[in-house]
Amino acid sequence: MTSADHDSAASLDQARGTLDGAGASALTRRPWQGPDQPPSDLDLVRFATWAARDPAATDPSVVAAGLGLLSSARAELDQLEAGLLFAARGSGMTWQGIASALGLGSAQAAQQRLDRVLARSHRVVRDR
């Protein structure tokens, strides 16, 4: 790992710790989480948004921590989307059926969506 990688990982860990300290550590486990698995960054961003619902009582460090995890949460969502698209194809859905489920106008648009999601995922992996 490069120094930049270490700095990025430390920044993510600090943001996660800030949110855990603000109450995210008490979040209910999702059925798909293992017993020792921490909340996802997507769940932590949701927690930060929820915690910021009252501007008068909002701790700016909680909001900053949520903002710091947005890129990681976005990458998690891209992975979930790619997984669902592959699962859809594996279950026998047509590209047109997938397009319809996504609210897209054509089978080609659904295929292009998968291509974009995979390209973003590969870019994130390369940039790390």
**pLDDT band, very low/low/confident/very high, at 71 (cuts 50, 70, 90):** very high
Q: Residues near 29 by Cβ (< 8 Å), separated by ≥ 6?
A: 35, 37
| Segment 14-53, tens digit of pLDDT | 999 999 999 999 999 999 999 989 999 999 999 999 999 9
Burial of 124 (0-12, 13-18, 19+ CB in 10 A): middle
Average per-residue pLDDT in the chain?
Answer: 93
Which amino acid makes up residue 25? S
pLDDT for residue 124: 62
**pLDDT band, very low/low/confident/very high, at 1 (cuts 50, 70, 90):** low
Please check the confidence at residue 12 and state whether its pLDDT lies above 60.
yes
Burial 30-52 (b: 16+ CB within 10 A, else e): eeeeeeeeebbbbbbbbbbeebe
Please check the confidence at residue 98 and state whether its pLDDT lies above 60.
yes
Of the candidates 16, 104, 97, 100, the residue with the CA atom closest to the CA atom of residue 61: 16
pLDDT for residue 123: 74
| CA 21/CA 13 separation, integer angstroms | 12
Which amino acid makes up residue 98? I
Answer for the pair 40, 16: CB distance below 8 angstroms, yes or no.
no
Answer for the pair 48, 66: CB distance below 8 angstroms, yes or no.
yes
Please check the confidence at residue 125 and state whether its pLDDT lies above 90.
no
Phi-psi region of 103 (alpha: psi -120 to 50; beta: other; left: phi over 0): left
